[in-house]
Structure 1
Amino acid sequence: MRTMAPTARLHQEELQFRLILAATYPFFLAAAALGRMSPARKPAHAGLPAPHRSVFGEARAMAMQAIPFAFMG
């Protein structure tokens, strides 16, 4: 069995990551929008204001945190 060259494998994994990001981003966007609408929103640290990020930025951050787990193993 022939294995892929390291650069080809990295390119393949990057492509897979981008495809998964594109497929899951709408779900994370919906979750971020619903999170914004909920009245029980608390700051990240007591006494400090929560960082102001757009709904799109929040969705991207959530996706970027969750998707790498698909590549573990």
Structure 2
Amino acid sequence: MGAVMQRSMPASSRLHSEAIQFRIILAATYPFFLAAAIVQRVLPGQATRRGLLPVRRSVFGEAKAMAVSAIPFAFMG
């Protein structure tokens, strides 16, 4: 029996593990995205130069939206 048997995690356990990893990465990166959201708020953006009305979320909501949209790239592969 030269074959090595691998045990795989049940799907629910793997999903739970990925959810925990997502939350950890979100907590670790949120301060950086918060700083970026504050800088974007302070500096005039392209939308205001073109006369478009920007979507006004709170700085915290904007930081979370940026983090949640960027973090899935960490799980690709």
The TM-score, its normalising length taken from structure 1, stands at 0.88
Q: Which segments of 5 or more consecutive residues in structure 2 lack a partner in the other structure?
A: 1-5
Q: Deviations over 1:7-40 (max 9, x none)?
A: 00000000000000000000000010011111x3
The TM-score, its normalising length taken from structure 2, stands at 0.84
For 1:2, the equivalent position in structure 2 comes to 7
Q: Secondary structure at the match of 1:52?
A: coil
For 2:60, give the aligned amino acid. Answer: F
Q: Between Structure 1 and Structure 2, how many residues are aligned?
A: 71
- Verify: 1:63 aligned to 2:67, yes or no: yes
Please give the residue correspondences for 1:1-73 in structure 2 after superposition, counting only pairs within 5 Å.
Answer: 1-38=6-43, 40-43=44-47, 48-73=52-77
Percent identity over the alignment?
61
Across the aligned residues of Structure 1 and Structure 2, the Cα RMSD in angstroms comes to 1.5
Equivalent-residue separation in structure 1 for 2:46 and 2:56 (angstroms): 13
- Give the structure with higher Rg (CA): 2
Q: Which segments of 5 or more consecutive residues in structure 1 lack a partner in the other structure?
A: none
Aligned-pair CA distance for 1:43: 2.3
